[in-house]
Amino acid sequence: MEQVEVNPIVSIKDIRYSVFNQGIQYEILRDISISIAKGEIIVLLGSSGVGKTTLLRIISQLIIPSHGSVIFNTQAQKNQRLYGYVFQEPRLLPWRRVLKNVLFGLEEMPLKKKDKLKRAEEVLSMVKLTGLEHRWPYQLSGGQMQRVSIARALVVHPKILLMDEPFSSLDVLTRAQLQNNLLEIQNSTGTSIFFVTHDISEAIMLADRIFILQGSPAVVADEIQIDLPHPRSKTSKSFINYSLKIHQQFS
Amino acid sequence: MPESKHKYFRITKEVGSIPLKVTGLLAFLLLWELLVTIFGNARTLIPSPSQIMIVFYTEIRSGIWHRIVFSSFTNYIVGVSAGSLLGIACGVIVALHARIGHMTEYLVRLLRPIPPIAWIPIAIIFLGITPISASFIISIGVFWVNFFATHSAIRGVGSELIDVAVVFGHNTFFYKFTKVILPAALPSILTGIKTGLGQGWMTVVAAELFGIPGMGQRMVEAAGLLETRVVFVYMFSIALLYGVSDTLFTFIQGRLLQWNR
């Protein structure tokens, strides 16, 4: 914990966000502050519509906060990006084959073609999609599409991976596979992950720390450190205890 | 892969239905031939298919058909190309710039309902009885089809795809337009071009009715002499040319949109 506060890779400070509708101001986020350390998995947990995606869009600079700042205490190296983004839906570009979708983030980087291809092959292997490079998105299952989306985010060698409920539309078995796959990838790359979900089990399964976003306007209602070794079992006593604690928070 | 299997069945079904389609067409032609043989064509002026074929052959042998079809085809290509390119370009600009969209909205409403044929007198006055006049008339109908198809296609590209470009650092308008907006809008733009190709053939005859060399002129001349066989020859010529151009374009469209299943 101490290291996290001293040397965070990303600092989200006092974020507030409001929207105006017919002249009326609606405050969505209030005073959100979260620090993310290198290699850490932070899960932002909250019910649907609370403002989780809004916070992620602020971190990725898709929208500007009304107040506060997002500071990246690190610089992207050459041919690297600060963050990779995985959307809730895969959002693959349907006119590009799998390989070209993965290469999308590298297109304006001054890398040689063979290096780009090497990177793409590496990340496709990480997400276990080797051999499907030349398929069109419509030829993939939902889980495979989301794997491509993860590969596309990883190929830019991000300092942090921003993930917006990426497994929420998948069946339970595929979701479990992808959670394990994500942990393997995090283990091998050391990338920090900021993961948004409304699923308590998923949060405990993945997180080093969980931030609970609640209320209207949403505030960080609680921060929970998950001290469980990987692989985590949903049936273990400590897992269930964490789950009960979080459920209590929501009730 | 299940999709290949699906495609296989679709092709098989298509190929399997060809004999039925040919039978239907042949039955119609036979019935037509029979009716003309029974009732004769002196009173009705309707020639039989075999008579049309003979005249068709004569027109080809004399070289008239080539010359006339070439003239019409040139008018058509120039008109369709100009109408499509301008329609797509204007559709893109109006869709991307809200202010231009507002500025042109009432203008579009004013001009759109005017049928291409209504421009014929204006074309004659300003461009004369020349092939350019015919191309101009053809291009008007094609322009609107492409303008509206492109406009709605570009407006329909969701911000979610543009967000993908932004989060991966592709922030320039040029990149977003060429790599995301245009490919996403391509299916509808191509549908617009295809509709425009058909629209062009519909207008080509009307555009040539006032004396510009081409199929329209030949049909009017023949009709004046009650040579309905010649009229039918060129009616079917248009159908044939439309069928060829439509098939070719459908093939190109299929190649370009392999991803769009």
pLDDT tier for residue B137 given thresholds of 50, 70 and 90: very high
pLDDT tier for residue B39 given thresholds of 50, 70 and 90: confident
- As a whole number, mean pLDDT of residues A160-185 equals 93
- As a whole number, mean pLDDT of residues A134-160 equals 95
Give the global pTM.
0.85
- Sign of torsion over alpha carbons A125, A130, A134, A136: negative
Is the pLDDT at A11 greater than 70, yes or no?
yes
pLDDT tier for residue B7 given thresholds of 50, 70 and 90: low
Tell me: the pLDDT tens digits for B172-195? Answer: 999 999 999 999 999 999 999 999
Please check whether residue A72 is in contact with residue A9, taking contact to mean a CB–CB distance below 8 angstroms: yes
Is the pLDDT at A2 greater than 70, yes or no?
no
- As a whole number, mean pLDDT of residues A1-29 equals 83
Is the pLDDT at B125 greater than 50, yes or no?
yes
Residue A202 sits at the vertex; the CA angle it makes with A198 and A207, to the nearest 5 degrees, is 105
- Lookup: tokens for A60: 């990725």
The minimum CA-CA distance between B145 and chain A, rounded to whole Å, is 24
Facing B163 at nearest CB: one of A62, A95, A139: A62
- As a whole number, mean pLDDT of residues B218-222 equals 93
Note the helical H segments in chain A.
2-6, 52-59, 98-102, 113-126, 142-154, 172-189, 200-206, 237-250
**Pairwise CB contact (< 8 Å): A93 & B180:** yes
How high is the pLDDT of residue B211? 86
Query: Contacts of residue A96 in chain B, CB cutoff 8 Å?
Result: 259
Q: How far apart are CA B47 and CA A18, in angstroms?
A: 76
The minimum CA-CA distance between A165 and chain B, rounded to whole Å, is 15
- Among the residue ranges A61-70, B70-79, B198-207, the one predicted with the least confidence is B198-207
How high is the pLDDT of residue B135? 96
Interface test with A, best of B6, B162, B168, B257 (most A CBs within 10 A): B168
Q: Kindly identify which residue of chain B lies nearest to residue A87, measuring between CA atoms.
A: B164
Is the pLDDT at A4 greater than 60, yes or no?
no
Q: How far apart are CA A151 and CA A146, in angstroms?
A: 9
Using a pLDDT cut of 90, give the percent of chain B over it: 82
Contact with chain B for residue A93, Cβ under 8 A: yes
**Pairwise CB contact (< 8 Å): A93 & B260:** no
Is the pLDDT at B9 greater than 90, yes or no?
no
pLDDT tier for residue B11 given thresholds of 50, 70 and 90: low
Tell me: the pLDDT tens digits for B147-156? Answer: 999 999 999 9
Query: Contacts of residue B164 in chain A, CB cutoff 8 Å?
Result: 87, 91, 93, 104
How high is the pLDDT of residue A74? 83
The minimum CA-CA distance between A60 and chain B, rounded to whole Å, is 7
How high is the pLDDT of residue A7? 76
Tell me: the pLDDT tens digits for B155-174? Answer: 999 899 999 999 999 999 99
Facing B167 at nearest CB: one of A60, A95, A139: A60
Q: How far apart are CA B71 and CA B76, in angstroms?
A: 9
pLDDT tier for residue B15 given thresholds of 50, 70 and 90: low
How high is the pLDDT of residue A197? 96
- Asked if the interface predicted TM-score (ipTM) of this complex is over 0.90, the answer is no
The minimum CA-CA distance between B5 and chain A, rounded to whole Å, is 12
How high is the pLDDT of residue A251? 80
Contact with chain B for residue A151, Cβ under 8 A: no
**Pairwise CB contact (< 8 Å): A136 & B160:** no
How high is the pLDDT of residue A73? 87
**Pairwise CB contact (< 8 Å): A93 & B164:** yes
Query: Contacts of residue B160 in chain A, CB cutoff 8 Å?
Result: 87, 89, 91
Is the pLDDT at B5 greater than 70, yes or no?
no
Is the pLDDT at A14 greater than 80, yes or no?
yes
Tell me: the pLDDT tens digits for B221-256? Answer: 999 999 999 999 999 999 999 999 999 999 999 999
Interface test with B, best of A78, A87, A95 (most B CBs within 10 A): A95
How high is the pLDDT of residue B261? 76
Q: What is the end-to-end Cα distance of chain A in Å, rounded?
A: 27
Query: Contacts of residue B1 in chain A, CB cutoff 8 Å?
Result: 139
Please check whether residue A164 is in contact with residue A43, taking contact to mean a CB–CB distance below 8 angstroms: no
Torsion of CA B28, B31, B32, B36, to 10 degrees: 180
**Pairwise CB contact (< 8 Å): B167 & A139:** no
The minimum CA-CA distance between B196 and chain A, rounded to whole Å, is 24
